[in-house]
Amino acid sequence: MESFQWKHPYQFDPAFSKRVAYFSMEFAIHQPLKTYAGGLGFLAGSHMRSAYALRQNMVGISILWKYGYYDQIRKGDQTMNVLFQEKVYGFLQKTNIRFTIQVNHSQVQVTAYYLPPEVFGTAPIFFLSTDLPENDYLAQTISHMLYDANMEAKIAAGILLGVGGARLLEILGYEPDIYHLNEAHALPLAFYLYHRFKKLEEVKKRLVFTTHTPEEAGNQKTDIFLLERMSYFYHLPLAEVKQLTGHSGDIFNHTQAALHVAKICNGVSDMHGEVSRQMWKFTKGICPIIHITNAQNAAYWADKGLYEALENDDDEALVRRKKELKKILFEEVADQTGEIYDENICTIVWARRFAGYKRADLLLQDFDRFHAFITNQDMPVQLIWAGKPYPMDYPAISTFDRIVHITKKYSNCAILSGYEMKLSRMLKQGADIWLNTPRLTHEASGTSGMTAAMNGAINMSTQDGWIPEFAKHLHNSFVLPAADTRLPVHEQDAIDNKNLMQRLEQEIVPMYYRQGKQWLEIQKNSMREILPSFDSDRMAKEYYEKVYTYEASSVF
């Protein structure tokens, strides 16, 4: 069998010469590669695109999910169903590399697939797989489904990503200066490095950590004895594991552990950085927590026609191009739902991962008011929902299905399935208003609104995640007043619903029809001001400047 010879495939910029291995459970690179579930993957994909554009000395490490996340399909009554379908990728190179890792006291064979930079314009990325005939079926399933509901499968995937990724880099001869954990999924890497270098200081010199968790309850916690049985700690005695990671009990907090073994951690927005510092301020022995606000790759996401019109100060061309993009989206709406939408009507889109705190149904809280709003003939609107719940999140699936039944009653309401990169682009290009409704302090960053702004959609949002760093009400966005987070959740939701409907009815939709010039100015301000601050080129540079080159004496 011919051996796979590899060296970093492009000449890197001397400013970014430090060797970085970026570990992420998911990457959203391009529609044909189904290795992502949501925002974490979209962020990682944009990071890899910018790393390539800036010629950074970086390599991505992930897992090749045989069945992807899942395919969102419909049942006979149009409600949601889940399909796990095998994916085939002819554009990935087989490396024929073979090595073993230990999972649950068994040796598991691992191989790797390679995505060269020129295929989609990214830094080089390797995808690990255990789907090999040499493995038994249980071992093969480790790389079958992204975020498998089975706890042991999740633990095994973390071992594959962390330990398998480190082993692969050794075989390739790529010795990273920095190992970057994009979330704590690949945490077994830290224990592998400790076993290799024998000193925590040597691990800390090399390990950095990005947290995406905005509240303590969201941090993954696992029975420490289950982790030990699964070989999560790479042969380390439990007493030593607890000492290294600041644990005293038998419940292992993955984020807390990462904060103890990394040299620096970053949150993913200004607000999230502060929330994280407050969350962990009483925990001793953890690394500093800063923030680097998430961003998206403008070269990939932004519509060139819209920006050409903006740069030429050609308002007519901008309006015309936006209507062309709306028509493209509306063809998809017609194909999926049988509804014909009008490009001259104000179109509101809510599209992202379906999760309870994101509140896809916030518009529907006062249904009588919603009905009056959606049936207003003087100032009509068109609504589109889209998004994938986690396949075992039955409350979120129930919300999706409820919206399905509601949209059947209104010809100007639709809910689309198959929310992946292609549909995401169409929705952002076709939206007039990009609706973002997370309950305050629950959204670490959020990035869909960034790419919406790059496509002439105006953000309408609660003041959470990245929004406070960008949005100025009636200048580049529409911003909801902040609800009091000390109130019970149902009261916060009622207040946000009231403010949302009031803004839409009395301010925003009337502006669309009666003050077109003001609307256009807000739209143009949004397009101008989203760049360069929320382009991932800025973000990728900041990681080198603030995280990868961080030393203990650095001041932020």
Query: Which CATH number does the domain housing residue 50 bear?
Result: 3.40.50.2000
Q: What's the angle, vertex CA 218, arms to CA 216 and CA 221, rounded to 5?
A: 90
Same-domain pairing of 323 and 454: yes
Same-domain pairing of 397 and 484: yes
- Pairing mode of beta strands 458-461, 433-436: parallel
Residue 100 lies in a domain: no
CB 445 within 8 A of CB 466: yes
Same-domain pairing of 261 and 303: no
Same-domain pairing of 232 and 374: no
Structural domain harbouring 521? 298-533
d(CA 290, CA 555) in angstroms, rounded, equals: 10
Q: What's the angle, vertex CA 295, arms to CA 270 and CA 39, rounded to 5?
A: 95
- Pairing mode of beta strands 207-210, 264-267: parallel
Same-domain pairing of 461 and 368: yes
Please tell me the predicted confidence (pLDDT) of residue 556.
40
Which residue carries 């807000």 as its tokens?
522
Q: pLDDT by residue for the chain (556 residues), tens digit each? A: 467 889 999 999 999 999 999 999 999 999 999 999 999 999 999 999 999 999 999 999 999 999 999 999 999 999 999 999 999 999 999 999 999 999 999 999 999 999 999 999 999 999 999 999 999 999 999 999 999 999 999 999 999 999 999 999 999 999 999 999 999 999 999 999 999 999 999 999 999 999 998 877 678 999 999 999 999 999 999 999 999 999 999 999 999 999 999 999 999 999 999 999 999 999 999 999 999 999 999 999 999 999 999 999 999 999 999 999 999 999 999 999 999 999 999 999 999 999 999 999 999 999 999 999 999 999 999 999 999 999 999 999 999 999 999 999 999 999 999 999 999 999 999 999 999 999 999 999 999 999 999 999 999 999 999 999 999 999 999 999 999 999 999 999 999 999 999 999 999 999 999 999 999 999 999 999 999 999 999 999 999 999 999 987 544 4
Residues 6+ apart with CB under 8 A from 331: none
Residue 221 lies in a domain: yes
d(CA 472, CA 344) in angstroms, rounded, equals: 26
Residues 6+ apart with CB under 8 A from 301: 46, 425, 428, 451, 454, 455
Same-domain pairing of 407 and 324: yes
C-alpha closest to that of 24 among 5, 4, 47: 47
C-alpha closest to that of 73 among 428, 423, 426, 416: 416
The dihedral through the CA atoms of 233, 237, 243, 244 has a sign that is negative
Please tell me the predicted confidence (pLDDT) of residue 553.
57
Please tell me the predicted confidence (pLDDT) of residue 38.
93
Same-domain pairing of 543 and 481: no
Please tell me the predicted confidence (pLDDT) of residue 217.
67
Please tell me the predicted confidence (pLDDT) of residue 2.
62
Residue 76 lies in a domain: no
Q: Which residues pair with 525 in a beta bridge?
A: none
CB 82 within 8 A of CB 74: no
Residue 105 lies in a domain: no
Residue 141 lies in a domain: no
Residue 213 lies in a domain: yes
Residue 91 lies in a domain: no
Please tell me the predicted confidence (pLDDT) of residue 89.
97
d(CA 161, CA 168) in angstroms, rounded, equals: 10
Cis peptide before 532 (omega within 30 of 0): yes
Same-domain pairing of 237 and 302: no
Same-domain pairing of 346 and 391: yes
Annotate 214-244 with b (16+ C-beta within 10 A) or e (fewer).
beeeebbebebeebbebbbbbebeeeebbeb
Phi and psi based region of residue 246 (left: phi greater than 0; alpha: psi -120 to 50; beta: remaining):
left
The dihedral through the CA atoms of 30, 166, 65, 97 has a sign that is positive
Residues 6+ apart with CB under 8 A from 317: 305, 308, 309
- Provide the domain count of the chain: 2
Same-domain pairing of 287 and 379: no
Q: Which residues pair with 535 in a beta bridge?
A: 296
CB 23 within 8 A of CB 179: yes
Residues 6+ apart with CB under 8 A from 232: 155, 158, 159, 188, 191
Please tell me the predicted confidence (pLDDT) of residue 214.
83
CB 230 within 8 A of CB 156: yes
Residue 437 lies in a domain: yes
pTM assigned to the model: 0.97
DSSP codes, 38-94:
SHHHHHHHHHHHHHHHTT-SEEEEEE--TT-S-EEEE-TTS-EEEE------TTSEE
Same-domain pairing of 324 and 387: yes
d(CA 101, CA 113) in angstroms, rounded, equals: 17
| Tokens representing residue 500 in the block | 């949302």
Phi and psi based region of residue 389 (left: phi greater than 0; alpha: psi -120 to 50; beta: remaining):
beta
Same-domain pairing of 232 and 211: yes
The amino acid present at 533, given as its one-letter code, is S
